[in-house]
Each structure stands twice: as structure tokens, then as C-alpha cells.
Structure 1
Amino acid sequence: MDLSNLGHYPSLKDKVVFVTGGGSGIGAAIVESFVDQGAKVAFVDVNVEGSTKLVEDLQAQYGVKPLFIKCDLTDTHALRQAVKDIAAALGDIDVLVNNAAHDQRHKWEDVTPEYWDDRTAINIKQYFFCMQAVLPGMIRKKAGSIINTGSMSWKAKQGGMPAYTTSKAATHGLTRGMARDVGKDNIRVNTVVPGWVMTERQLQLWVNAESDAEIDRQQCLAGRVMPVDLARMVLFLAADDSRMCTAQEFTVDGGWV
């Protein structure tokens, strides 16, 4: 990934950053961008092969490697242990990026209570428990930045995945309520809202000539939203440059919604 034109934030150097779902797609771009800034980066993912390759590639390029821990984020006990392990290795976490999610398509007619619980566990429940796990360390430091990843899908009235869009609509409610609860400790909580981002998964599964035409129609800006575009916004929200930004929603969608 070419980061040569990426803004540099001195306040991010040596910050301890935790990214969920950091092994591929937007998460991998965020991990690399923080490594490029000189932060101490840890991430979790269930994809061991892809995550291990990312670690090796970043070590070859930057001479340092992020800490990777395999973790199923729907296992709250494993998540809490991962946060403890990161803190033991790198120190209390300064920046949490709740990035992990899964936009599996599903018909409303086919949704069972078990499937609903599974989707919301992946797409919203673990965001709260990640926050709960890192906040004691941030409170000790009297500083921190939490960035939750939303989605423009529900704003665009996208159908075909009600459990996902419900979870993503709930994300900003979580952000705003928690921003009030932890603001007194100088901890900021914001939401980043991606548009249709050209990750490898999206390109393989859903982007075709028809969807390309839709993007051209819906976006105000020409071009495509890339993972690095989300990483740029995340860096800003993690850095001291955004010190008075909290409880807000920052959309990176080329002007779609």
C-alpha cells in the first residue's frame, strides 16, 4: 500500500493501538497505517494465514511487526484475555479501532433467532465488550480514542441483510452514549462510516459491471473508496489533532449518502 502521501501525526508515535479484524481489507490498511506512524500496533483476527502474512510483510517493509493474536471476538472471555495479553506486551491501550464485522447477505424470511444472535454478536455486541475491556487502561491514563466502524448501508436503505444493517445503525448509538460516559476521563469515542470500499472481499463477491455503474451514479465523487481512505480518517481521529472531536460520525463514502 502506498502511504507516501499520508499525513503524519507526531502524537501517534509509540501509542498502543488495538485493531479488531486487522488481518485483511480495511483492517489491514489501518494496521499498516499505524505502523507507518510509529505506533505500537496489535490486532486480532480469526484468519491466521492472512494475518501472519501481513505481519511478515510489515516487518520486511518497516523493520517492526505488529502483535497478532488469533481471537474469535464473539468469545468474550477470549477477547478479554487478548486485551490483557496486549497490555502485558505493549502497555495499556491508547487507541481502539473496532473494525471487525461481517456483512453476510441474508433474506429476512430465513432469519432464525439463533442467526440473529450470531450476526449481532459479530457486528455490535463485541464492539461494546472491546470497549469495556480497554477502558480501565484508558481511564488510568486519562486519555484515549475509540473509533467504531459503522456502515452507510442502512442509510442508503440497503436490503438483503437486516441483522447487519440493524447492528450498524446501532453502532452510532453506542458511540454517542459511551462518549458521554467516558468523556470526563478525556476519552473520545467516534464512528467512522465507510461507503462501498473496494476491499478484496468486495471485489471478489459483489463488484461487477452493474455495481460499478451504481457506484458511478450514487457517489458525488469520481473514483473508488479504497481501504486507505478509511485509514486516513481513523488516523486523524486517533491523533491529538482531533482532540475535541467526540460522539461524532465521520463518513467516507464519496458522497453517497
Structure 2
Amino acid sequence: MALPRFGLGTFRLTGSTVIESVSMGLELGYRAIDTAQIYGNEAEIGSAIAASGVPRDQLYLTTKVWIDHHAPDKLAASLAESLAKLRTDRVDLALIHWPAPGHAVPLEQTIEALADARARGLARAIGVSNFNIEQTRRAIGVVGEGGLATNQIELSPYLQNRKLVAFLESRGIPVTSYMTLAYGKVLTDPVLARIAQKYEATVAQVALAWALQMGYAVIPSSTRRENLASNLLAKDLELAYEDMAAIGMLERNGREVDPEGLAPEWDD
């Protein structure tokens, strides 16, 4: 199954909140769900999926391996724990969540362990998240061309990551945009508001439509049914060239996520 263009993010959603969000998302037609071991919500997501009645083969589940499990003797076991929580026998996509430069486990060993987990059937596809150009190149060196299903990176109208995106596109690696709304900061942007008014759309729809037209997959999250439904409509919004160009001018290197010890040296 190809990487879905539109999915449901679950970052910072836990307990009954994530159950409600995923349940509503599935009712509204979301079929791709993104989570991570460090989010602490895999079990709740598994519960929501089980209660939804949506057949497993209609879903695309992504989880991300945390840095504590980078070692070859830990990675597959941690992924198996994730599968148990999600109540499934495999995920559709398993990612290395952060490269964690300076970590005790060499990047190549972690990628090899992830590829081995895929070979064992724990994941249908594998990829990376928050890897810079050098680290992605090293990962390709392990799994070969076409071996990475995506690099999931922070991308928004305020952080367009053009160097990294150009590299990924040159190597045929699909881009997944997270934080596409920049923690909501873009929602008050006057340029986006003007464009939204033109199309009788919401600013969130415009930002998501921009990312989709750039060729990225998106995984927005919400705890409100009306926002979940509204976000989905971005798939049907086609922005004119001049509007895409105007959004392109909003770049300001507005990075929201840069955790010390986890983040690489960014390709700014």
C-alpha cells in the first residue's frame, strides 16, 4: 500500500482524548493513523480501532521507534510491543523517530535492525523521521534506493525545508509533513487568511492544501469533530499558481521542534 496523502496525527493526545479523536476520525473517513512509541497512546489507538469495526486491511498504521530502542537487540522487541498495543500483527510503516546524533548506537546498525524487522513481517514498510540530508543518505546506503517509504519532517508555510525536500525528491523518497500548521501559528497569518477568503475555505485547509499540492503527505490532528471534518476537505482544494507562490514567500525558518540531543544539524 502506498503512503497515504492524508492521515490523522496523534501527537500529544493521550487517554480518552486520543480514543475520541481516532474514533471520530475513523467515522469521518480517515484511514491512515500516525502514532509513536513515545506518545504513550498506542494501546488507546488500538482500542479505538478495535471498537470502530473498520477492517484492518483498510487502515494504514504508522508508528515510530524511540531512541531507547535503537540497538539491534532491542528494536524488533520494542516494535513487537507496539503491535501488541495496537492489536495488530504488523504496522504498515515503522519509522526511526529521531536520529539522536551522538547516541551510543551507530545509525547504520539501527537502520539495519529496522530493515530486519521489516523482513520479519513486523512492518510492511520502513522509513525515517527528522533525518537531515547526511543521515538520510547514510540510511539509503543501508537499505538501498527505494528502501525508505518516507522521511517525516517538520514542514509548514513558515518552515519549508527546501534543501532537504529537494534532496528527498531527487532520491524518490516521499515527504511527510508534520506540524503543517506550525502549532496553530499560521492560522492567524494575513496572507493565508486572504487566500482562505478567496476560496471560502479555512486557513487550516489552505495550509494543508498547499502541502498536498507540494506533493507532501500530511498528518494533522484535532480533538474536535468539526476540525477533523474540515481538514479533510483540504484534499479537494486546488490553489492557483499565484496563491502557491504567495505561500512560498512566507518562509521564515520558523522551526517549532528542535529537541536538544535528538535533533540533527538541520539543512537550513
- Shorter chain as normaliser: what TM range? 0.3 to 0.5
The two structures have a TM-score, normalised by structure 1, of: 0.35
The two structures have a TM-score, normalised by structure 2, of: 0.34
